Amino acid sequence: MDVFKRLAKNLAVWFWSLFRRKPVDDDKRPFYEKTKGEVSRNSLRNHARRLIMATDRKKVCQCKGCECHIHVECAHLIPVSYWPDDTKVLVINRLDNIAYLCPCCHWKLDHGHLNLLDLEGIYD
C-alpha cells in the first residue's frame, strides 16, 4: 500500500511539473544583443540597474537641487516604452540614457515635469 502512495505522489509531482516548466531559451546571444521585443521589461530594467551600479557614479539623485541619497532608483531618461520593439538592449541601456533619481524626481521625469537639462552629471 505504501508503494502505491509513493507512486501516486511521484506521478502527481511529475504531472504538475509539466505545466510549470518555463520555455527553454535556445538563443545563445548575449543579453545586450537581443531586442526589446525579445526580453521582458523586468530583465531590461535589471540589466540597466546592474550597468549603472558597475560605474563609479555616486548613488544620489542626479536632479539639480535634490540631494536625496536615502533611496534612489535607476531611471531611463528616454522611456523604455518610447523605443520600438526591434531596438537592441545595448541602445536602450546606454549609460547616457540611465540616471539615478529619487522616486519623486523619477515621477516628475516620467510625467514631463522635469527637463533633461535639470539633471546634472549625465552627459559629462
Distance (Å, rounded) from C-alpha 100 to C-alpha 90? Answer: 19
* Assigned domain for 8 exists: no
Q: What is the pLDDT of residues 15-70, one digit of tens each?
A: 666 666 555 556 678 887 888 888 888 888 889 989 888 888 888 888 887 877 78
* Assigned domain for 7 exists: no
* Assigned domain for 59 exists: yes
- pLDDT surpasses 60 at 124: no
Q: Give the chain's domain count.
A: 1
Q: What is the pLDDT of residues 72-121, one digit of tens each?
A: 888 998 888 889 999 999 999 998 889 888 898 888 888 888 877 777 65
Distance (Å, rounded) from C-alpha 98 to C-alpha 55? Answer: 11
Q: pTM for the full model?
A: 0.70
Domain of residue 79 covers 32-118
* Assigned domain for 101 exists: yes
Contact between residue 120 and residue 62 where contact means Cβ atoms under 8 Å apart: yes
